[in-house]
Amino acid sequence: WLEQAITQQSQGLAAAADENTLAQETQPSPEASYRLLFDNNPQPMWVYDRDTFAFLAVNDAAVYHYGYTRAEFLGMTLKDIRPPEDVAALLDNVAHTTADLDQADTWRHRKRDGTIIEVDITSHSLTFAGRPARLVLAHDVTERRRAITALAEHTRSLEAVRGVAAEVARELDLNMLLQLILAHAVDLLEAIGGVIWLWDEAQQTLTLRARRGREEYIIETPLALGEGIVGRVAQRREPLVVNDYATSLYAHPAWVERLKTYAVVAAPLVYRERLIGVIWVDKDKTTGTFTMADCELLGLFADQAA
């Protein structure tokens, strides 16, 4: 009985030891856990060689976000994802980065398709495959910074519009008022000319009533709703930007030759749902084009003018 009991106990201890060994073997090592966090991190990450700047490892998020394959990444250096004009600043920054953990300022990176993005960089030193290296996490802040810039521009635009509105409100003569509104619109959008068309409710037409910087605006034939860019803006009561007048679907056939090199932005003058007219400003394309922000700005200005 004693011999049998000792044998069973030995077998039990051996089985327990085997289970313990198996548990240790199946438990991931710290290195494997770190690799898992690296590979599955939703933010782009990479490891680069501190001496050569070569990429030593990249995660899936970096491959997806930057557009390079993993093989392409591993054949490149940090310099290859920077705009050429930023490389000198990169080299200077890396040369002076000595802290284990570094949160650098915002940098510009270049994706495979040439798109420039802005990223916040966090990095720290480590040894990778026996070589001095740094682990980098890149957070794309392009849209956030674009939104902040747009908000600042919108705020400045509102302040400019309010200032103009206060000045315009003091003028009571209609012809002088139209010239003043047009002058401020041209200046506000850095345009080189402009016109105002007023809506004639009785005739159901738009008539040219003011022009600035554009003596070639001699087409004074009244326009119907929907006719040309002016008529379309009046009909839809929405601002419109066209950066190549000659090819626009809304260009007035009689105006194409005269304005073929022009970029145009126009907005309706509407007050309490009543159509008053349309304001239009333009540029020769050699002096620039208009953006959607310009279109929104003229819309704000037109609301105040109306």
Q: Encode pLDDT of 119-139 as tens digits.
A: 999 988 898 988 899 999 999
Does residue 3 have a pLDDT over 50? Answer: no
Confidence band (pLDDT; 50, 70, 90) for 177? confident
- For range 87-101, the mean pLDDT: 80
Tell whether the model's pLDDT for residue 185 goes beyond 70: yes
Question: What is the structure's pLDDT at 96?
Answer: 75
Which residue in the block uniquely carries the two structure tokens 């349309």? 278
- Is the pLDDT confidence value at 215 over 70? no
The pLDDT, as a whole number, for residue 109 is 94
DSSP state string for the chain: -HHHHHHHHHHHHHHHHHHHHHHHHHSPPHHHHHHHHHHH-SS-EEEEETTT-BEEEE-HHHHHHH---HHHHTT-BGGGGS-GGGHHHHHHHHHT--SSEEEEEEEEEE-TTS-EEEEEEEEEEEEETTEEEEEEEEEE-HHHHHHHHHHHHHHHHHHHHHHHHHHHTT---HHHHHHHHHHHHHHHTT-SEEEEEEEETTTTEEEEEEEES-TT------B-TTSHHHHHHHHHT--EEES-GGG-TT--TTTHHHHTTEEEEEEEEEETTEEEEEEEEEEEGGG----HHHHHHHHHHHHHH-
Sheet holding 131-140, edge to edge: 55-58, 45-49, 131-140, 116-128, 101-110
Residue 2, pLDDT score: 35
- Quick: pLDDT tens for 241-286: 998 887 888 777 777 777 766 889 999 999 999 999 999 998 887 7
pLDDT number for residue 7: 46
Give 21 or 6, the one with higher predicted confidence: 21
More confident residue, 74 or 106: 74
**What's the average model confidence in pLDDT over 178-192?**
88
With 80 as the cut, is the pLDDT of residue 50 above it? yes
28: confidence class by pLDDT, cuts 50, 70, 90: low
The predicted structure's pLDDT at residue 171: 64
pLDDT band per the 50, 70, 90 thresholds, residue 12 = low
Average pLDDT, the chain: 82
Pairwise pLDDT comparison (243 vs 169), residue with the higher score: 243
pLDDT at 15: 54
The mean pLDDT value for 183-205 works out to 90
pLDDT over 80 (residue 160): no
Given a cut of 90, is residue 54 above it in pLDDT?
Answer: yes
pLDDT recorded at residue 197 = 94
Q: What would the mean pLDDT of 94-101 be, rounded to a whole number?
A: 73
